[in-house]
Amino acid sequence: MTNYKKTKHQLKGEIKNISCGDEYCRITIEAPAMCQVAEPGQFVMVRAAEEKSNDPLFRRPFSIHQVADGLLTIIFKIVGRGTRNLAKMKTAELLDVIGPLGKGFHVANMQRHYLVGGGMGIAPMHFLAESIYKQHPESEIIALLGARTAKELDAFAHLNSLGYLQVATSTDDGTSGHHGLVIDLLEQSVAARGSGAVYCCGPGPMMKAIALFCKDKKMPCQVSLETVMACGVGACLGCAVSGADVIGDGYLHVCKDGPVFEAAKIWV
Ligand SMILES: Cc1cc2nc3c(=O)[nH]c(=O)nc-3n(C[C@H](O)[C@H](O)[C@H](O)COP(=O)(O)OP(=O)(O)OC[C@H]3O[C@@H](n4cnc5c(N)ncnc54)[C@H](O)[C@@H]3O)c2cc1C
Ligand code: FES
């Protein structure tokens, strides 16, 4: 049974499914109210301390990977204390979640959409692909997924079975798809198919290179930034980044103003 508490954006959602390997976990919780209002590119803050402990104190941010039938899924890499604790959780336990938070991707009214994900930056692309398909079923939706090695792509293998999504991969070591960078795939795809809207999430240098490529090709580009976050709601100012198009106090706050930004707001 789901136990809603405090506000409609905070709940203890029952874990319907959890599957973890050595490095990655996928958790699906019951969260019907969140699913109704969630947009692709938004994230949730998850309490990642063990029961009766406050360590780590701060919640951890994770992109919304998928929403379907009132169920919300996140996929994460196990990197430290919080994610190690989360990986120990079991089906039917309650996960303490705040969300959906931040500003997500704006689905462009275009015929072609390039979803470019690097590493765990692939996580928001499932929800985004589904949203684009729902709004523009006739459009071409192309996912370009980059990772260091094929093993890192395993957590996202299910994207290959979405009939409306064309998937190409690249790896640094050549163990899956193109041997090289994901921007090579974007350059090749744009040369072969033509321009389109670009949605990007991954390491900073990758996104910057893609933003500059898009600027050169005059293609609209949105980037989803990742910073360390303490509160996730604009209160601690810990996630400030300086943008190209600075406003107010001169900083953009990734949790509140983003995490998704027009690329030109970050990199001219
Ligand atoms: C908006 C947003 C969405 C995110 N979505 C996802 C997602 O869908 N899947 C996913 O796996 N991760 C995602 N992350 C990153 C995730 O929040 C961190 O990996 C997580 O907070 C680490 O918690 P921890 O307690 O396990 O690690 P910690 O003990 O806090 O840190 C362990 C190690 O991981 C490094 N680390 C911590 N945070 C990050 C980070 N944000 N990026 C890179 N390295 C980090 C630390 O520097 C340290 O070396 C997202 C981050 C943001 C800001
Ligand atoms: S994480 Fe606290 S203001 Fe963004």
- What does the pLDDT look like over 225-248, one tens digit per residue? 999 999 999 999 899 998 766 555
139 neighbors 199 (Cβ within 8 angstroms): no
Ligand nearest to the CA of 233: 2
Q: DSSP state, 52?
A: T
Give the CATH number, domain containing residue 238.
Answer: 3.40.50.80
- pLDDT tens, position by position, 1-39: 444 444 458 788 999 999 999 899 999 999 999 999 999
Ligand nearest to the CA of 239: 2
Domain boundary among 76, 101, 126: 101
Handedness of CA 45, 100, 73, 148 (dihedral sign): negative
Domain boundary among 101, 126, 153: 101
The answer, yes or no, to whether any atom of ligand 2 lies below 6 A from the CB of 228, is no
The answer, yes or no, to whether any atom of ligand 1 lies below 6 A from the CB of 217, is no
The answer, yes or no, to whether any atom of ligand 1 lies below 6 A from the CB of 24, is no
180 with 254, same domain: the answer is yes
Q: Write the CA distances from 30 to 4, 214, 254, integer angstroms.
A: 11, 38, 27
Taking residues 120-139, report their average pLDDT: 97
In whole numbers, what is the pLDDT of the chain averaged over residues?
Answer: 92
Task: Give me the number of domains the chain comprises.
Answer: 2
Tell me which residue of 259, 136, 245 sits closest to 200, measured CA to CA: 259
Please report the atom of ligand 1 found closest to the CA of residue 86.
26
CA 82 to ligand 1 centroid distance, Å: 9
Ligand nearest to the CA of 257: 2
The C-alpha atoms of residue 198 and residue 185 are separated, in whole angstroms, by 13
CA 62 to ligand 1 centroid distance, Å: 8
Secondary structure class of 58 (helix, strand, coil): coil
20 with 153, same domain: the answer is no
45 with 124, same domain: the answer is no
Residue 111, both tokens = 């015929």
Give the CATH number, domain containing residue 35.
Answer: 2.40.30.10
Whole-model pTM: value is 0.94
116 with 173, same domain: the answer is yes
125 with 92, same domain: the answer is no
Please report the atom of ligand 2 found closest to the CA of residue 239.
4
Please report the atom of ligand 2 found closest to the CA of residue 254.
4
Instruction: Tell whether 106 is covered by a domain.
Output: no
If one residue of 98, 229, 252 were mutated to test the ligand 2 pocket, choosing by the most ligand atoms within 8 A of its CB, it would be 229
pLDDT at residue 221 greater than cutoff 90: yes
